[in-house]
Amino acid sequence: MSIAVLNPGGRDPGQHFADGAGAPDAAAHAPVNFHAFAACTGGAFYRRDQDIPADAKHVLLLLRSDLKACRNALHELRRAGKKVAVSLKESGAFQIAALLGKPDKFRLFQEICQRADAAIATVPDLVPLYLGAGARRAEFLPTPYPVDDVRWDFSTPPDERRGIFVGTREFGTPSRNHLAALLAVRQIAEPMQEPVTVFNDDGWSGRRMLARLGFSDGLLRVIEKRLPYPRYLRLVAQHRLVWQLDASAVPGQVAGDALLCRLPCVGGNGTTERLVFPDLCGHGRTTEQLFDLAARLLEHPHDAQETVARALTLAREKLSFAAITPRLEAVFERLAR
């Protein structure tokens, strides 16, 4: 069963995934996030409902900022006889609050949920939201990762890894806890002489903030521009662990990136973090506890390797393409009945 994923009026161009995850390609969108739902079924990603072929009967409609366009697309898809499940494209707690914070937006969201055949929650906490808004049914499905495809194994030999990669980027989003993550990781990096890598998406103000952190010379590496996804993963894979304190309840791409690089991910309360790094995630843990976990993994590389091996086992069971594909197909099979 091929799934068509529709992002009405979105920026990402149409893309077919006949080869599943495919080989890493800097010119194409990676098979992660919602593109992964298309990739794991050999389906396609669209930005216009008119481009979806008549014989494509199963559609996952992404709900983005322009909810009127999403409602119109849903109407046309239903008229064409397709079964439609909906899902919020941005599923972080702060993103949902921003999208649905006005009565007119929330009314449109309710209307869409009531007219759709089902809702798919990429964060378990969102199931009650969809049902409360009137969805006929709502099911939790984490975004899949191609951990079972050797083409997406970005690991490097352990003796070639050095330092800590900070997985968050935004100073301006309070729940990301980006500043707190940098202040905390400095307490690990300085005594152990482990360099820290961070991206700066905040331009001049971000550079000023980073300069105020007081890292010793040579211990803070700042990347000033976004990289194509394969190149980004190769950069991440050069480190010994990924660190974050994100409390945004997101689907969890930081941990997903760490998985593809075969690195432990410490901190964060996203879905992927909870599912595959349950002993390292920030859910139910203090910053001090996470600090101790990160220090132990750096001091004992064998423990880090065992942690990654456990994470991969959990990932293959819970969010690999092989695990998610039958669950996604089952959702639409039930709708067909």
Say what the pLDDT of residue 336 is: 78
Residue whose pair of structure tokens reads 């089902």 in the numeric block: 118
Q: What angle do CA 22, 31, 197 make, to 5 degrees?
A: 110
Say what the pLDDT of residue 259 is: 98
Say what the pLDDT of residue 335 is: 87
Residue 44, strand partner residues: 4, 16
Task: Work out the burial of residue 180: count CB atoms within 10 Å of its CB; fewer than 13 is exposed, 13-18 middle, 19 or more buried.
Answer: middle
Q: What amino acid occupies position 195? A: P
Task: Tell which CATH classification among 3.20.20, 3.30.1490, 3.90.1200, 3.40.50 matches the domain 4-144+320-336.
Answer: 3.40.50
Say what the pLDDT of residue 118 is: 97
Q: What share of the chain is helix, strand, coil (3-state, %, to 5)?
A: 45, 15, 40
Residue whose pair of structure tokens reads 């360099």 in the numeric block: 195
d(CA 294, CA 289): 9
d(CA 21, CA 257): 15
Q: Which of 318, 238, 221, 223 is nearest to 278 (CA)?
A: 318
Say what the pLDDT of residue 337 is: 74
Domain residue extents for the chain? 4-144+320-336, 150-318
Say what the pLDDT of residue 163 is: 97
d(CA 282, CA 184): 14
The answer to whether domain 150-318 has CATH 3.40.50.1100 is no
d(CA 24, CA 1): 24
Q: What tokens appear for 97 in the block?
A: 């609050």
Contact by Cβ (8 Å): 312, 149: no
Model-level pTM? 0.95
The per-residue pLDDT string of the chain (337 residues; one tens digit each, 9 = 90 and over) reads 899 999 999 999 999 999 999 999 999 999 999 999 999 999 999 999 999 999 999 999 999 999 999 999 999 999 999 999 999 999 999 999 999 999 999 999 999 999 999 999 999 999 999 999 999 999 999 999 999 999 999 999 999 999 999 999 999 999 999 999 999 999 999 999 999 999 999 999 999 999 999 999 999 999 999 999 999 999 999 999 999 999 999 999 999 999 999 999 999 999 999 999 999 999 999 999 999 999 999 999 999 999 999 999 999 999 999 999 999 999 999 987 7
